[in-house]
């Protein structure tokens, strides 16, 4: 198996996103002192909204403008909930504009969106009609994949993006493209996996506060804040939660390498955690209206609710059959019948070993008695009788390489009542081919000075064969295993076997 470098944690995860005083030009940004409403910094395009240059703006207070009382209302809301992002339509010199406010320490950051730059809504039907159609269609979807495929198709229709993908994070924060709707002639990423470092952890973290990230044109001319440093702190103002914040260079290069000119990503949360993204690409500049972005937000909620419902239904079915099997297991144990076959079914294993008093009983596909003996010595006596589960046993216990085909997966249930009492469940190797969107080992390309770096240039399918790995033990299965462990521990104590 290819050993992968974890660029997510080691390198890309440290690219600072707050060390910039630049914004994208599709809006104007002001940094305001929350205490006295004085304007401390303004983006150099302020004139386009306010009719005053950035230099002139910083001698003013927000209360000097006609929207003053509306602003003070918003400020009150923000003071009550300082972690909120507040959106409002405020009246400026140049007309009404969508404005976002958020708090950063002692400062309020205002981001005023410029008008839509003449891009037509792609569809004559109201976006809300599309939402209705989508919600009705999604009712009938039976799986997560089906739901996501419907969402991608509908969102492409409604937004006019050239490509809409649904991207699901795996347990290591790599992402799988599980649904895609695209214009003919564009590269397809459906079924491909992208390494975690493509959206490193500090970039993922931002979705906790901001539901989407919009980059209307990767070839934008960044706009500076004036003055460069915040006069209160003599440092850059932290723009990490700002929607207009200029984009990290490495990501702009990444999008260019994908032949993408505009990009938008909307979070999909599940149980409060980032589950995935709706990732959209366009081959020409695309400024999406605020209304359309709201549709994305709404549909991302519908998707996560549906995913939750599908999973609850599957879990319920699993729970029912598990309960039945557990009852069977209890009966078998008390009747002193051989439980191995049932354990194998219950733990979804290819082989089972029951180890007790230096006696090893096996059923199904397992390593030899000697190999199991050595394995038990290696397992020792786990603290608090914690379960041990591995889907790549030879990575942590080298001798297992010799029998990887038979047993790459191990679930060890240490039992009460003496050293070396275990139920061991084994899973055979399941050779997996993983299709990556470009070679993940080449995710970061360093120049010869080892300082400058670039993202990979190719996203063509790159196949990795993963060996010595079994299907992982699911969270639900581990709960079942704990119940089995309790049952056998109690049985032992009661019967004194
Ligand atoms: C940001 N990377 C992002 C974002 C996405 C991706 C969606 C959020 C911004 C956006 O919406 O465009 C990645 N986009 C993808 C992926 C697909 C897609 C995987 O459409 C697949 C279909 N990126 C690199 C390397 C580094 C890196 C090597 O390739 C670091 C060294 C970093 N990506 C990186 C950073 C950001 C980012 C720092 C945040 C950009 C910002 O907010 O300024």
The answer, yes or no, to whether any atom of ligand 1 lies below 6 A from the CB of 24, is: no
Q: Using DSSP, state whether 406 is helix, strand or coil.
A: coil
- Pair (149, 249) in one structural domain: yes
- Pair (109, 121) in one structural domain: no
On whether residue 461 sits in a domain, the answer given is no
Task: State the distance from the centre of ligand 1 to the C-alpha of 12, rounded, in angstroms.
Answer: 10
- Closest to 476 (Cα-Cα) out of 374, 357, 325: 325
419-431 pLDDT tens trace: 789 999 999 999 9
Ligand 1 probe mutation, 163, 198, 460, most atoms within 8 A of CB:
198
- Pair (163, 306) in one structural domain: yes
Pick the more confident residue, 440 or 490: 440
Reported as type and span, the H/E element at residue 44 is none
Q: Using DSSP, state whether 93 is helix, strand or coil.
A: coil
Non-local (6+) Cβ contacts of 44 within 8 A are: 53, 54, 223, 224, 225, 226
* 40, 58 contact by CB (below 8 A): yes
- Confidence grade of residue 273 (pLDDT, cut at 50, 70, 90): very high
Atom from ligand 1 closest to the CA of residue 279: 20
Phi-psi region of 357 (alpha: psi -120 to 50; beta: other; left: phi over 0): left
Per-residue pLDDT, 8:
66
* 179, 148 contact by CB (below 8 A): yes
On whether residue 331 sits in a domain, the answer given is no
What is the pLDDT averaged over residues 152-174? 93
* 57, 39 contact by CB (below 8 A): yes
- Confidence grade of residue 242 (pLDDT, cut at 50, 70, 90): very high
Atom from ligand 1 closest to the CA of residue 11: 31
The answer, yes or no, to whether any atom of ligand 1 lies below 6 A from the CB of 261, is: no
- Pair (172, 283) in one structural domain: yes
Task: State the distance from the centre of ligand 1 to the C-alpha of 33, rounded, in angstroms.
Answer: 32
Cis peptide before 227, with omega less than 30 degrees from 0? Answer: yes
- Pair (262, 167) in one structural domain: yes
Average pLDDT over the chain reads: 90
- Confidence grade of residue 492 (pLDDT, cut at 50, 70, 90): low
Last residue of a domain, one of 57, 78, 113: 113
On whether residue 275 sits in a domain, the answer given is yes
The answer, yes or no, to whether any atom of ligand 1 lies below 6 A from the CB of 263, is: yes
On whether residue 381 sits in a domain, the answer given is yes
Domain count, the chain: 3
On whether residue 147 sits in a domain, the answer given is yes
Sign, CA dihedral 147-150-153-155, equals: negative
The answer, yes or no, to whether any atom of ligand 1 lies below 6 A from the CB of 200, is: yes
Task: State the distance from the centre of ligand 1 to the C-alpha of 200, rounded, in angstroms.
Answer: 7
On whether residue 440 sits in a domain, the answer given is no
Is the pTM higher than 0.90? The answer reads: no
DSSP string for residues in 21-42: -EE-TTEEEEEEETTT-BEEEE
- Pair (256, 358) in one structural domain: no
The answer, yes or no, to whether any atom of ligand 1 lies below 6 A from the CB of 178, is: no
**What is d(CA 18, CA 66) in angstroms, rounded to the nearest whole number?**
31
The answer, yes or no, to whether any atom of ligand 1 lies below 6 A from the CB of 279, is: yes
Q: Which of 80-84, 167-171, 252-256, 360-364 has the lowest mean pLDDT?
A: 80-84
Between strands 422-427 and 351-356, the pairing is antiparallel
- Pair (376, 481) in one structural domain: yes
Sign, CA dihedral 356-357-363-365, equals: positive
Which CATH number is 34's domain given? Answer: 3.30.450.20
On whether residue 416 sits in a domain, the answer given is yes
The answer, yes or no, to whether any atom of ligand 1 lies below 6 A from the CB of 440, is: no
- Pair (359, 381) in one structural domain: yes
Question: Containing domain of residue 344, as a range?
Answer: 338-431+467-495
Non-local (6+) Cβ contacts of 234 within 8 A are: none
Between strands 273-282 and 163-169, the pairing is antiparallel
- Closest to 469 (Cα-Cα) out of 434, 437, 442, 431: 431
Sign, CA dihedral 283-286-292-295, equals: positive
Non-local (6+) Cβ contacts of 166 within 8 A are: 148, 151, 152, 177, 178, 179, 180, 268, 276, 277, 278, 279, 303
- Pair (249, 303) in one structural domain: yes
Last residue of a domain, one of 113, 138, 162: 113
- Give the residue whose CA is nearest to atom 21 of ligand 1: 194
On whether residue 377 sits in a domain, the answer given is yes
């Amino acid at each position: 198996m290819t050993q992968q470098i974890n660029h997510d944690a080691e390198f890309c995860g440290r690219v600072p996103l707050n060390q910039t005083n630049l914004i994208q030009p599709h809006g104007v940004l002001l940094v305001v002192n929350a205490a006295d409403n004085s304007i401390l910094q303004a983006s150099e395009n302020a004139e386009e909204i306010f009719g005053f240059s950035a230099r002139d703006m910083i001698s003013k207070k927000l209360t000097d403008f006609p929207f003053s009382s509306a602003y003070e209302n918003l400020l009150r809301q923000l003071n009550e909930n300082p972690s909120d992002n507040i959106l409002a339509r405020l009246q400026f010199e140049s007309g009404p504009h969508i404005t976002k406010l958020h708090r950063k320490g002692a400062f309020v950051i205002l981001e005023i969106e410029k008008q839509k730059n003449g891009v037509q809504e792609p569809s004559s039907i109201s976006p809300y009609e599309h939402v209705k159609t989508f919600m009705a269609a999604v009712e009938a979807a039976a799986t997560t994949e089906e739901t996501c495929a419907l969402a991608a198709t509908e969102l492409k229709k409604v937004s006019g993006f050239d490509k809409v993908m649904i991207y699901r994070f795996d347990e290591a924060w790599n992402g799988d493209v599980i649904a895609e709707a695209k214009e003919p002639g564009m590269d397809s990423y459906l079924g491909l996996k992208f390494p975690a470092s493509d959206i490193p952890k500090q970039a993922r973290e931002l979705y906790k506060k901001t539901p989407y990230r919009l980059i209307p044109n990767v070839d934008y001319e960044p706009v500076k804040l004036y003055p460069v440093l915040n006069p209160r702190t003599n440092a850059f103002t932290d723009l990490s939660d700002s929607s207009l914040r200029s984009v990290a260079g490495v990501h702009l290069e990444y999008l260019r390498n994908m032949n993408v000119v505009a990009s938008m990503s909307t979070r999909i949360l599940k149980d409060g955690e980032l589950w995935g993204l709706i990732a959209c690409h366009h081959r020409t500049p695309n400024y999406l209206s605020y209304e359309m972005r709201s549709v994305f937000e709404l549909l991302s909620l519908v998707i996560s609710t549906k995913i939750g419902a599908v999973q609850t239904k599957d879990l319920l079915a699993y729970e029912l059959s598990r309960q039945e099997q557990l009852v069977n297991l209890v009966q078998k144990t008390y009747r002193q019948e051989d439980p191995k076959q049932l354990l194998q079914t219950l733990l979804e294993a290819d082989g089972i070993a029951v180890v007790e008093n230096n006696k090893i009983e096996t059923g199904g596909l397992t390593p030899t008695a000697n190999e199991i003996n050595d394995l038990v010595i290696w397992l020792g006596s786990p603290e608090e009788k914690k379960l041990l589960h591995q889907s790549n046993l030879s990575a942590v216990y080298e001798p297992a390489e010799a029998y990887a085909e038979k047993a790459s997966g191990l679930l060890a249930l240490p039992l009460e009542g003496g050293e070396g009492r275990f139920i061991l469940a084994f899973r055979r190797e399941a050779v997996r081919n993983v299709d990556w969107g470009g070679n993940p080992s080449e995710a970061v390309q360093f120049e010869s000075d080892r300082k400058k770096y670039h993202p990979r240039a190719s996203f063509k399918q790159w196949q990795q064969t993963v060996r010595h790995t079994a299907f992982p033990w699911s969270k639900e299965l581990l709960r079942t295993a704990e119940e089995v462990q309790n049952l056998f521990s109690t049985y032992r104590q009661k019967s004194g076997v």
